[in-house]
């Protein structure tokens, strides 16, 4: 027997600080990551938050949402499939305070009388062939304009009277509008709008939903579509009709079971922007410039161990490996294998040292933070509006890597062409006693939150502009010839739990927030069409919400980096990198999880690396004796 799954459907919420705080609490209690919660609750329509076969788990999450006062609906796949399927109407019959929907044989499928409540769900089956930019423009349009746009595409309209199934389905281009009489217009699009207007004028508090294509309907298979109820559609449109069927059934369940004010139609516009927060204080540079690519490379080497030990071993291994590649001399294989084993063996001891260092340092309360090496944990926060440059996720720290797909003979691979991070912008770690700044320059960062996306050169150009990294722009080369571009972003989301071990230090810093400077930059940008045009991604001559977000992020980035070099006037305590041999680590794992990982790597490194070295020595001796 097929296992039954349960689905938890949620409705969109306004994006406010209070909702953000509640979602963060729900994330901690339910183990659903905050990014998923934001995506579902701040979307354009009803969306599936959780789908699982574990009824106990999903019921626990539903109870938590009920405690928070958030509208939701829990249902199983079997209940979903058992709902009445939609019936196709081919014409209407208008009466006094009533409209009947008729099938091809002239039989009444369903009707709507004056004063009845009903739900109208409209979607364009052709809309999902549009580009992401075109989709965003459509969803940002007013409801009346969006409805007109749907009617001019490949429209399908479901009408669902409350408590009276079945749903009535109208295919806009396959409907007989002659029964509209004098109200009939010259085109199918105009006539479909007439039908919607007639239904809305009769219904008491009808709800119109236009979120198809912008929300996440239940991914439930096996929902039956009667071929006799469907016009002759191509395979691509049939797939979209199946998604619309799931979307419409989910809306019908919400309409029948979740109390929502009838005069409040389902929201179809873009999610609200993040709450504006003032810029944070920053830690000025103490005579050193922004970390170079060499320094960034050394930081990656430090993850394995001291560069003075690791680099010579790697260089020796590369030279010996290169020698074998050109000479095919088998005598070079044992030294290369021995160096690899020694690297793994040495890394095991490095992990052991880090684990013992973490165990020897007690976790400090931020209010009573001592000077020297400390260990703190809490939520990552920043008063700055910081977003990842390409996916625009709210965060306090990020790093990115842009790679281009290249071919060389039979080989093909992604090659790094740009990378960057926000090491020069500190963030806060806050516990129940207070908060402290963290300067991430030179830290070993182990973060699980990452996104891999594929974007166009124009979108990458805007992302680099938002970071203030215009020196990396090589648009004549980047993505030339239609080469795929892959972006990997690693980030610490806002209010994400973090663990930090580092050195408490104090410097003098400018106490100003920088908010005035940011506003001045934005005013100057508005007055300069040439500078503003640099953020016009789709070259349509106007700046939409996303493009303005990127422009604002670029202004904030410039101001914050400039303040690093500002005059020092006030004491500021922060956690950062201490002496060269001191551990400075930022992770989103707890201390217990981190220690378990380090000890596992210690065991694998010492035993695995040692085993490789012994095996190579034995094999090398046998090889040299025989030769």
Judged by average pLDDT, the poorest of 1-15, 177-191, 272-286 is: 272-286
- Which is it for strands 585-587 and 207-209: parallel, antiparallel or unpaired? unpaired
Cα 85 off chain centre by: 34
Residue 477 has a pLDDT of 46
Cα 4 off chain centre by: 29
Cα 219 off chain centre by: 19
Average pLDDT over residues 85-98: 90
Tell which of 46, 81, 116 closes a domain.
81
Buried b (16+ CB within 10 A) or exposed e, 557-568: bbbbbebbeeee
Domain CATH number, residue 36: 3.30.1390.10
CA distance 312 to 376: 34
Closest by Cα among 583, 426, 422 to 500: 583
* Domain co-membership, 322 together with 403: no
| Higher-pLDDT residue of 109, 575 | 109
* Domain co-membership, 320 together with 416: no
> In the predicted model, is pLDDT for residue 169 greater than 90?
yes
Q: SS3 for 103?
A: coil
Average pLDDT over residues 540-558: 69
| Higher-pLDDT residue of 336, 463 | 336
| Higher-pLDDT residue of 570, 246 | 246
Per-residue pLDDT band at 304 (split at 50, 70, 90)? low
CA distance 161 to 334: 78
* Domain co-membership, 439 together with 309: no
**E-strand stretches of 148-215:** 155-161, 168-171, 207-209
**pLDDT per position as a tens digit, 244-263:** 898 899 888 888 888 754 33
The string of DSSP codes covering 278-296 is PPPP-PPPSS--S--HHHH
**pLDDT per position as a tens digit, 24-47:** 899 888 888 887 888 888 877 788
Contact 449, 585 (CB under 8 A): no
Q: Which two tokens stand for residue 270?
A: 């873009």
- Which is it for strands 427-431 and 386-387: parallel, antiparallel or unpaired? unpaired
Cα 327 off chain centre by: 49
Closest by Cα among 246, 574, 311 to 429: 574
Establish if 480 belongs to a structural domain: yes
Per-residue pLDDT band at 279 (split at 50, 70, 90)? very low
**pLDDT per position as a tens digit, 5-29:** 899 999 888 888 888 889 989 988 8
CA distance 246 to 45: 13
Q: Which two tokens stand for residue 13?
A: 């919420």
> In the predicted model, is pLDDT for residue 469 greater than 80?
no
Closest by Cα among 537, 407, 539, 404 to 472: 404
* Domain co-membership, 14 together with 154: no
* Domain co-membership, 399 together with 538: yes
CA distance 525 to 473: 20
CA distance 10 to 69: 12
> In the predicted model, is pLDDT for residue 562 greater than 80?
no
Q: Which two tokens stand for residue 347?
A: 């890394």
Closest by Cα among 282, 284, 275, 283 to 494: 275
Contact 122, 251 (CB under 8 A): no
Residue 135 has a pLDDT of 56
Residue 419 has a pLDDT of 79
> In the predicted model, is pLDDT for residue 625 greater than 90?
no
Give residue 37's domain range. 6-81
Establish if 279 belongs to a structural domain: no
> In the predicted model, is pLDDT for residue 476 greater than 50?
no
> In the predicted model, is pLDDT for residue 89 greater than 90?
yes
Residue 220 has a pLDDT of 79
Average pLDDT over residues 154-170: 90
Query: Edge-to-edge, what's the strand order for the sheet holding 207-209?
Result: 87-88, 168-171, 155-161, 118-124, 207-209
Residue 511 has a pLDDT of 46
* Domain co-membership, 199 together with 239: yes
Contact 365, 433 (CB under 8 A): yes
Residue 278 has a pLDDT of 39
Average pLDDT over residues 210-218: 77
> In the predicted model, is pLDDT for residue 447 greater than 80?
yes
Residue 168 has a pLDDT of 94
CA distance 618 to 195: 85
Residue 290 has a pLDDT of 40
| Higher-pLDDT residue of 405, 410 | 405
Tell which of 20, 50, 81 closes a domain.
81
CA angle 17, 446, 612 (to 5 degrees): 165
CA distance 150 to 221: 26
Residue 508 has a pLDDT of 55
Average pLDDT over residues 531-546: 70
Residue 265 has a pLDDT of 36
Closest by Cα among 473, 377, 372 to 420: 473
* Domain co-membership, 111 together with 166: yes
Residue 170 has a pLDDT of 94
Compute the CA torsion angle 597, 599, 605, 610 (nearest 10 deg): -160
HSE value, Cβ hemisphere, 13 Å, CA-based, for 537: 26
Residue 262 has a pLDDT of 37
* Domain co-membership, 65 together with 100: no
CA distance 588 to 499: 6
Judged by average pLDDT, the poorest of 177-191, 312-326, 388-402, 468-482 is: 468-482
> In the predicted model, is pLDDT for residue 142 greater than 90?
no
Neighbouring CB atoms inside 10 A of 417's CB total 17
Establish if 366 belongs to a structural domain: no
Average pLDDT over residues 379-407: 79
| Higher-pLDDT residue of 223, 576 | 576
Query: Edge-to-edge, what's the strand order for the sheet holding 72-76?
Result: 47-52, 6-10, 72-76
Residue 544 has a pLDDT of 67
Helices (H), 259-406: 293-302, 307-327, 333-360
ω into 166 cis (within 30 of 0):
yes
Residue 605 has a pLDDT of 81
Most confident of 115-129, 190-204, 283-297, 537-551: 190-204
Establish if 268 belongs to a structural domain: no
Per-residue pLDDT band at 482 (split at 50, 70, 90)? low
| Higher-pLDDT residue of 5, 303 | 5
Residue 517 has a pLDDT of 66
Judged by average pLDDT, the poorest of 241-250, 264-273, 286-295, 398-407 is: 264-273
> In the predicted model, is pLDDT for residue 177 greater than 80?
yes
Domain count, the chain: 4
Most confident of 300-314, 343-357, 533-547: 343-357
CA distance 208 to 196: 9
Q: Which two tokens stand for residue 8?
A: 């938890």
Q: What is the C-alpha R_g of the chain? A: 30
Q: SS3 for 549?
A: helix
Residue 289 has a pLDDT of 37
Establish if 269 belongs to a structural domain: no
> In the predicted model, is pLDDT for residue 480 greater than 70?
no
Residue 546 has a pLDDT of 64
Neighbouring CB atoms inside 10 A of 569's CB total 11
> In the predicted model, is pLDDT for residue 401 greater than 80?
yes
* Domain co-membership, 334 together with 440: no
Establish if 287 belongs to a structural domain: no
Residue 571 has a pLDDT of 57
* Domain co-membership, 466 together with 542: yes
Average pLDDT, the chain: 76
Residue 568 has a pLDDT of 47
CA distance 289 to 578: 17
Buried b (16+ CB within 10 A) or exposed e, 469-482: beebbeeeebbeee
| Higher-pLDDT residue of 560, 60 | 60
Average pLDDT over residues 136-162: 80
Establish if 277 belongs to a structural domain: no
Residue 271 has a pLDDT of 31
CA distance 505 to 10: 46
* Domain co-membership, 402 together with 478: yes
Establish if 213 belongs to a structural domain: yes
pLDDT > 90 fraction of the chain, expressed in percent and rounded: 7
CA distance 426 to 436: 10
* Domain co-membership, 531 together with 388: yes
What is the DSSP secondary structure assignment for residue 272, as one 8-state letter?
P
Contact 378, 435 (CB under 8 A): yes
Tell which of 81, 104, 132 closes a domain.
81
């Amino acid at each position: 027997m097929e296992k039954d799954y349960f689905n938890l459907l949620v409705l969109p919420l306004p994006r406010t600080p209070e909702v953000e705080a509640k979602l963060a609490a729900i994330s901690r209690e339910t183990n659903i990551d905050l990014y998923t919660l934001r995506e579902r609750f701040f979307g354009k329509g009803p969306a599936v938050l959780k789908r699982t076969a574990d009824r106990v788990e999903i019921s626990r999450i539903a109870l938590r949402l009920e405690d928070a006062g958030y509208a939701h609906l829990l249902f199983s796949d079997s209940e979903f499939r058992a709902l009445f399927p939609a019936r196709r109407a081919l014409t209407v019959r208008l009466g006094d305070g009533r409209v009947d929907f008729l099938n091809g044989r002239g039989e009444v499928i369903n009707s709507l009388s004056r004063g009845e409540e009903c739900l109208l769900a409209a979607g364009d089956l052709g809309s999902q062939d549009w580009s992401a930019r075109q989709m965003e423009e459509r969803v940002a349009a007013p409801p009346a304009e969006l409805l007109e746009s749907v009617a001019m595409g490949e429209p399908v309209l479901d009408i669902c009277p409350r408590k009276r199934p079945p749903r009535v389905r109208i295919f806009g281009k396959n409907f007989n509008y002659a029964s509209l009489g004098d109200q009939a217009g010259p085109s199918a699009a105009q006539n479909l709008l007439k039908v919607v207007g007639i239904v809305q004028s009769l219904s008491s508090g009808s709800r119109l939903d236009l979120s198809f294509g912008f929300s996440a309907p239940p991914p439930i298979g096996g929902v039956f579509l009667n071929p006799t109820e469907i016009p002759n559609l191509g395979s691509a449109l049939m797939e979209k009709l199946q998604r619309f069927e799931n979307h419409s059934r989910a809306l019908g369940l919400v309409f029948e079971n979740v109390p929502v004010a009838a005069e409040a139609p389902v929201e179809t516009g873009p999610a609200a922007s993040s709450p504006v927060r003032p810029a944070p204080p920053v830690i000025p540079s103490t005579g050193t410039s922004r970390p170079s690519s060499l320094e960034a490379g050394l930081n990656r080497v430090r993850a394995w161990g001291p560069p003075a030990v690791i680099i010579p071993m790697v260089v020796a291994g590369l030279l010996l490996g290169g020698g074998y590649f050109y000479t095919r001399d088998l005598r070079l294989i044992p030294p290369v294998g021995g160096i690899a084993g020694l690297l793994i063996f040495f890394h095991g001891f490095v992990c052991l040292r880090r684990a013992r260092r973490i165990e020897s340092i007690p976790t400090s309360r931020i209010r009573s933070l001592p000077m020297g090496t400390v260990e703190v944990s809490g939520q990552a926060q920043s008063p700055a509006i910081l977003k990842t440059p390409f996916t625009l996720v709210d965060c306090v720290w990020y790093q990115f890597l842009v790679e281009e797909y290249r071919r060389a003979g039979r080989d093909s691979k992604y090659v790094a062409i740009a990378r960057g991070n926000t090491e020069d912008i500190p963030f806060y770690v806050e516990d129940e006693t207070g908060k402290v700044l963290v300067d991430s320059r030179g830290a070993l960062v182990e973060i699980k939150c990452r996104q891999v996306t594929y974007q166009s050169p124009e979108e990458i150009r805007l992302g680099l502009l938002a970071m203030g990294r215009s020196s990396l722009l090589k648009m004549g080369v980047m993505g030339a010839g239609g080469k795929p571009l892959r972006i990997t972003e690693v980030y610490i989301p806002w209010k994400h739990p973090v663990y930090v071990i580092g050195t408490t230090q104090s410097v003098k810093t400018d106490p100003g927030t920088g908010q005035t400077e940011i506003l001045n930059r934005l005013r100057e940008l508005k007055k300069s069409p040439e500078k503003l045009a640099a953020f016009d991604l789709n070259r349509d001559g106007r700046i939409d919400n996303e493009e303005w977000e990127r422009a604002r992020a670029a202004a904030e980035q410039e101001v914050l980096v400039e303040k690093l070099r500002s005059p020092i006037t006030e004491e500021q305590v922060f956690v950062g990198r201490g002496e060269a041999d001191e551990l400075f680590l930022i992770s989103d794992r707890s201390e217990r999880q981190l220690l378990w990982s380090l000890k596992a790597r210690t065991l694998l490194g010492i035993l695995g690396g040692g085993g490789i070295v012994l095996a190579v020595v034995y094999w090398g001796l046998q090889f040299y004796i025989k030769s």
